[in-house]
């Protein structure tokens, strides 16, 4: 006889109530992905340094045009609330105190990957596309590349381009603001 276990898919609302009830603590490194509470990969030194570097670059470059989020949640749908490393968001005077940002609020979402690049490409990038996030940058510290994903659709991003050191990139919302890929990769 095969035993099958019933899985419970959580909503963002239930996920938040779990945190309020103390089931999930502030220091728990988890995020809600397609109804499942997933443990996040531990942050290594290279990953942490890259996130700090990119956050500073984004603040310095876009502080007047956008709110910059650092490892803050984005509600993608009823069952997904990941915490991307960096978000470039439509400017709001309350800095999203009233509610978490959604895909409609996102100019650019950046994931930094040291050991999790393949898992992020397989799980998170398609989820971002299905949710309508307009642009994602995957910073792969092992390969020393930045993959730019554009043109989201239910089947994934229709456009992907790999950028290396020495090349310049701009968020599609701010094409007049080129950034050196070397400044992002470190």
Per-residue pLDDT, 1: 63
Structure-token pair, residue 11: 């909503």
Per-residue pLDDT, 58: 97
> Where are the chain's structural domains?
41-185
Non-local (6+) Cβ contacts of 179 within 8 A are 57, 61, 168, 169, 170
Per-residue pLDDT of the chain (186 residues; tens, 9 = 90+): 676 776 678 889 888 888 889 888 888 888 888 888 888 887 889 999 999 999 999 999 999 999 999 999 999 999 999 999 999 999 999 999 999 999 999 999 999 998 888 888 999 999 999 999 999 999 999 999 999 999 999 999 999 999 999 999 999 999 999 999 999 999
- pTM comes to 0.90
Per-residue pLDDT, 154: 96
Contact 23, 153 (CB under 8 A): no
Q: Which class does domain 41-185 fall in?
A: alpha beta
Per-residue pLDDT, 15: 86
Reference 128, options 67, 172, 81, 76; nearest CA is 76
Per-residue pLDDT, 28: 85
Reference 182, options 145, 149, 153; nearest CA is 145
């Amino acid at each position: 006889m095969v035993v099958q276990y019933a899985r419970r898919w959580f909503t963002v609302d239930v996920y938040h109530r779990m945190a309020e009830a103390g089931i999930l603590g502030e220091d728990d490194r988890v995020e809600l992905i397609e109804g499942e509470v997933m443990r996040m990969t531990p942050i290594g030194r290279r990953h942490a340094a890259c996130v700090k570097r990119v956050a500073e670059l984004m603040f310095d470059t876009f502080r007047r045009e956008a709110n910059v989020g650092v490892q803050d949640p984005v509600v993608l749908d009823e069952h997904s609330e990941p915490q991307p490393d960096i978000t470039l968001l439509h400017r709001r005077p309350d800095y999203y105190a009233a509610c978490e940002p959604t895909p409609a609020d996102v100019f650019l979402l950046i994931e930094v990957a040291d050991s999790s690049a393949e898992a992020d490409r397989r799980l998170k990038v398609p989820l971002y596309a299905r949710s309508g996030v307009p642009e994602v940058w995957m910073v792969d510290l092992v390969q020393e590349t930045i993959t730019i994903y554009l043109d989201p659709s239910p089947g994934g991003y229709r456009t992907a381009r790999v950028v290396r050191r020495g090349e310049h990139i701009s968020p599609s919302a701010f094409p007049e603001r080129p950034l050196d890929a070397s400044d992002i990769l470190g």
